[in-house]
Amino acid sequence: MHALVTGISGYVGGLLAPALLDAGHDVRGLARHPERMAHRPGVPVISADLSTGRGLDEALDGIDLAYYLVHSMEGHTDFVAEELHAARHFATRAAAAGVRRVVYMSVLTPDKPPEQYSEHVRSRIAVEHALAAEGAEVIALRASIVVGAGSRSFRFLLRLVERMPVLLLPPWRHNSTMPIDERDLLRELVQAATAPVDRPVSVFDAVGPDEVTYQDLIERLRDHLMLPRPTLPFPFALTAVTAPLAASVAGEDLGLVQPLMASLGSDLLPRRPDPYEVRLGPPRHHLDAAIERALRGSDCNRMED
């Protein structure tokens, strides 16, 4: 198939492109700043802007399958509106180009009414439907934390553990999720190219085999790093207070951290029953093995001051 990877200069897109090539697909990339891809030869990259539509027609020409791996949480005062605008723009141009399938990296949803979702979760679900509005098949892989050396959510947690002498854990420490090893995520993204679908938006839960609380996840990171970091319950869960503090400690963009932390107030787990294992295959890597591999990555092994 002729595949387009949007966000190819990012973490998932940069790993996915060679995996698709290995699977026999013809691959083209889309990036706002293609010069960032100069060190990754082998895949042509088109300069395009999803918000304005610049370069989209060239990028989508002859494409059967598009991977939509972009978000707008950083640098936008209203990232929900920006994400929806970009998705609608992309869907319209993709339909005109004859794109048959769009694969989207989405997020697991909490077990509560949609009106109670965080802005981050509401935005991702709205994008799923916007991408399908023009007739393309959409496969949404819903994940929570991707465990890998280049994953920003993983690196954010890792830096908090590295840099905080005492690990303050708000009430969301008791909530649970199922992190996924980047190797399993990539395998599922590649499988999504040809997976059978039976509805406009087909949802697959991209999760690992281990269900853990956020406290357990943070303590596992601490133990793998062999750092003496006691945990201390923190009585407040106000994102407006905790997010700026966490972003400052981790050296991460508040525009990314704040919506992510707002999603921690509920369990983020697969739907029950979950058809995902039948259709994309079960995950292969347990959490401790995923953490060990991620810590061996050069980006995560280097402790930054």
CATH number at residue 11: 3.40.50.720
pLDDT, residue 2, reads 95
CA gap 138, 223 in Å, rounded = 40
Q: Report which of 185, 192, 176 is spatially closest to residue 208, judged by C-alpha positions.
A: 185
The reply to whether 63 falls in a domain is yes
**How many domains are contained in the chain?**
1
Range of the domain at 69: 2-146+180-207+269-283
Rounded Cα–Cα distance for residues 109 and 186 (Å)? 21
Token representation of residue 65: 């399958």
**Is the peptide bond between 200 and the residue preceding it cis, with omega within 30 degrees of 0?**
no
Q: Domain for residue 52, yes or no?
A: yes
pLDDT tens digits, the chain, 305 residues: what are they? 999 999 998 899 999 999 999 999 999 999 987 777 655 667 899 999 998 889 999 999 999 999 999 986 555 567 788 999 999 999 999 999 999 999 999 999 998 888 888 888 999 999 999 999 998 999 999 999 999 999 999 999 999 999 999 998 888 899 999 999 999 999 999 999 999 888 888 999 999 999 999 999 999 999 999 999 999 988 776 677 778 888 898 899 888 888 888 888 889 998 765 555 556 777 789 999 999 999 998 544 444 33
What does the block give as tokens for 86?
A: 């970009």
Rg of the chain (C-alpha set): 19
Can you give the pLDDT at residue 260? 83
Q: Give the single-character DSSP code of 173.
A: G
Whole-angstrom distance, CA of residue 43 vs CA of residue 6? 12
| 17, part of any domain | yes
Establish if 119 belongs to a structural domain.
Answer: yes
- Structure pTM? 0.90
245: left (phi over 0), alpha (psi -120 to 50) or beta: alpha
159 located within any domain: no
- In sequence order, which ranges of 164-286 are alpha helices (DSSP H)? 182-191, 214-225, 239-250, 254-262, 276-280
Main-chain phi, psi angles of 303, to 5 degrees: -80, 125
**What contacts 24+ positions apart, CB below 8 Å, involve 52-55?**
53/89, 53/93, 55/30
- What is the CB-side half-sphere exposure of residue 19 using CA atoms within 13 A? 20
Q: Is residue 226 part of a domain?
A: no
- Decide if 263 contacts 257 (C-beta within 8 A): no
Q: Is residue 103 part of a domain?
A: yes
Q: Which of 89, 101, 106, 99 is nearest to 48 (CA)?
A: 89
Contacting residues for 298 by C-beta, under 8 A, at least 6 apart? 149
70 within some domain: yes
Whole-number Å distance between alpha carbons of 247 and 23: 38
